[in-house]
Amino acid sequence: MRPASILAGLFLVAITLRPQIVGIAPLLPAMQESLHTTHAVAGLLGTIPVLCMGLFAPPAAYLGARIGTRAAIALSVLLIGAFGVARAVAPSAAFVVLLTWPIGVGMGLAGALVPVAVKENFPLRPAGPTGVYTTGVQVGSALSAAIAVPIALWYGGWRASLVAFSLVTIAMAGVWLLVTSDRPAQRAKARPPRLPWHSHIAWLLVALFSLMAFTYYGINAWLPDSYVERGWGETAAGSLLALLNLVAIPAALVVPWLSDRVGTRRRWLIAMAAIFLVGMSGIVLAPEAAYAWVVALGLANGAMFALVLTLPLDLEDEPRRVGALIGMMLGVGYTIGAVSPFVLGAIRDATGSFATSLWIITAFSGLLVAAAAALPKAHEVPASI
């Protein structure tokens, strides 16, 4: 099988893993009005998928071992698409929330299985394909945020946007099976390793990833709505999220590449976390310069996501231990970060504005800088590697 075909398949699968979260954010005002629901309930549409991304990261290894990684990825993506269509036509807020759960399950399984596919197909040099995967995630986020409101305006409402996202996802499952059709099913020869619950470094990575998830999904859920509250139109507010995720695309490729050649991974993480803090502080203190601040947020977020995914490779040498560390980092990190959209939405309901919620995200951004700085220098990756 040609590597280019596998990379294309991984990229297209990755595109499907965020639109059901990020693409919904610009639509939340219209969805709340249509479904007659609160910010807290609307926040569940962001909380549930991220929670599932945590809860179903560890079980993904067992599914892959049972039916093979290729089939497991296809099944997971189909789950996202099929229940995405069902949710788009759900008649009430209760059914919309209920159908978000299987969408989240599919996202959680696929998100943990794609790195396994990278390792299976590119065992010697997984860094480049990992960059392709993370770039696909960012492309899917940017595109969905950019086109969600226009599709809704052109085709009769938010349901049309969700149907469009979901049909593309179903198509991508077929493309994945097509480009990997000559790939034999690969099943694990041993049980997945135990998670490193007693490792200080593992819990530090969990803290780092949890803070990233809390801030990122909080911003993606409520940044457009906070600017609608300030008087912006829905299309303009949604463009902020699109720009944020667009800027993240080159950052996810370039900064990790630079971190292998200039400075160390830890120093780059600290720098990117500091830029993220500057961007969030700007959103709160000088909101009129929104486009400048979201560029900073996108640059920092795209870089940090890719950098943090490489840390387990830096900190562990044995592949099975690397897998266990990644499983714990994603599993616990996403589970903790999942509360962000719901909690911040509930605070908005209680206070009557997004000011407090945005300050909380800013405070967590400060903790993110501290967590990056807490990475031990002994594990820094020098530019010579």
Write the pLDDT tens digit of every residue in 28-72. Answer: 889 998 999 888 888 888 889 988 988 888 788 778 878 888 899
Nearest to 135 by CA among 25, 277, 291, 255: 255
C-alpha torsion angle, residues 102, 103, 106, 112 (rounded to 10) = -120
pLDDT of residue 376: 83
CB 316 within 8 A of CB 322: yes
- How does residue 125 score in pLDDT terms, banded at 50, 70 and 90? low
CA–CA distance from 159 to each of 28, 34, 87, 145 (Å)? 11, 10, 9, 15
Q: Spell out the alpha helix ranges (H) of the chain.
A: 3-15, 19-22, 28-35, 39-55, 57-67, 69-88, 93-121, 127-155, 158-179, 200-229, 234-259, 265-285, 290-315, 319-337, 339-351, 355-373
Name the DSSP class of 26. G
The per-residue b/e assignment along 206-222, b for 16 or more CB within 10 angstroms, e otherwise, is bbbbbbbbbbbbbbbbb
Cα(144)–Cα(151) distance, rounded to whole angstroms?
10
CB 219 within 8 A of CB 22: no
pTM (global) more than 0.85 = no
Cα(331)–Cα(10) distance, rounded to whole angstroms?
21
- How does residue 92 score in pLDDT terms, banded at 50, 70 and 90? very high
Cα(154)–Cα(172) distance, rounded to whole angstroms?
24
Angle, alpha carbons 325-331-335 (nearest 5°): 145
Cα(42)–Cα(221) distance, rounded to whole angstroms?
9
Of the listed ranges 82-86, 227-231, 378-382, the one predicted with least confidence:
378-382
pLDDT(339) > 50? yes
Q: Which conformational region is residue 116 in: left (phi greater than 0), alpha (psi within -120 to 50 degrees), or beta? A: alpha
- For the ranges 122-131, 277-286, 310-319, the maximum mean pLDDT occurs at 277-286
pLDDT of residue 279: 97
CB 132 within 8 A of CB 121: no
Q: Which conformational region is residue 362 in: left (phi greater than 0), alpha (psi within -120 to 50 degrees), or beta? A: alpha
CB 327 within 8 A of CB 205: no
pLDDT(116) > 80? no
pLDDT of residue 372: 94
| More confident: 125 or 146 | 146
- How does residue 84 score in pLDDT terms, banded at 50, 70 and 90? very high
Place of tokens 């700007």: 282
pLDDT of residue 127: 61
pLDDT of residue 379: 47
Radius of gyration of the chain (CA): 20
Residues of the chain with pLDDT > 70: what percent?
90
Tokens read off for 151: 């599709």
Question: Residue 380 burial by CB count (10 A; 0-12/13-18/19+): exposed, middle or buried?
Answer: middle
